[in-house]
């Protein structure tokens, strides 16, 4: 059965795309901890636990996430891009990439930001443009 994230990667559910490749997809988190908070997923491997991925998909996912993180750093003012893997909510492996000004930006319990569609669109486009340059 398709997960919400595989449906997003397939374009069946809308998302703010920031990067894509044949195997992987990156899009803005709908409830961001910081502007530019991005999720990186394998398109077709829906296992909900990252350490269950086959080695090739696992390594490819991190290599893709690295490029996306470089693009985020270039597009969104931040000191660095933090990375986390939780998977407590959505049963489809995903990596969180979060632009950080301080440690507090990576607190999954804090109240999430509410950005307008226009703000999300502008952020996603900036990251996408930076990703395309890499």
Which residues here bind ligand AMP, judged by CB under 6 A?
4, 15, 29-31, 39, 86-90, 94
The closest of 1, 7, 6 to 41, measured between CA atoms, is 6
How near is the Cβ of 57 to ligand AMP at its closest, in Å? 18
The closest of 28, 2, 3 to 15, measured between CA atoms, is 28
Residue whose CB is less far from ligand AMP, 89 or 103: 89
How near is the Cβ of 86 to ligand AMP at its closest, in Å? 4
Residue whose CB is less far from ligand AMP, 15 or 57: 15
Structure tokens, 20: 């894509």
Residue whose CB is less far from ligand AMP, 29 or 130: 29
Q: Are 18 and 124 in contact (CB under 8 A)?
A: yes
Give Cα separations from 112 to 17, 23, 57, 126 (angstroms): 20, 29, 30, 21
Residue whose CB is less far from ligand AMP, 99 or 133: 99
How near is the Cβ of 103 to ligand AMP at its closest, in Å? 18
Sign (positive or negative) of CA dihedral 102, 103, 106, 111: negative
How near is the Cβ of 104 to ligand AMP at its closest, in Å? 16
């Amino acid at each position: 059965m398709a997960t919400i994230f595989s449906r997003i990667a397939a374009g069946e559910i809308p998302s703010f795309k920031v990067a894509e490749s044949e195997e992987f997809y990156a899009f803005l988190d709908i409830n961001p901890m910081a502007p530019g908070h991005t999720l990186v997923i394998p398109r077709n491997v829906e296992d909900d636990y990252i350490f269950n991925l086959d080695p090739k998909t696992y390594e490819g996912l991190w290599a893709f996430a690295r490029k996306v993180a470089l693009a985020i750093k270039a597009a969104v003012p931040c000191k660095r891009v933090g990375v986390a893997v939780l998977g407590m909510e959505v049963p489809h492996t995903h990596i969180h990439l979060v632009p950080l000004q301080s440690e507090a930006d990576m607190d999954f319990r804090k109240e999430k930001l509410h950005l307008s569609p226009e703000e999300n669109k502008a952020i996603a486009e900036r990251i996408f443009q930076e990703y395309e340059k890499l």
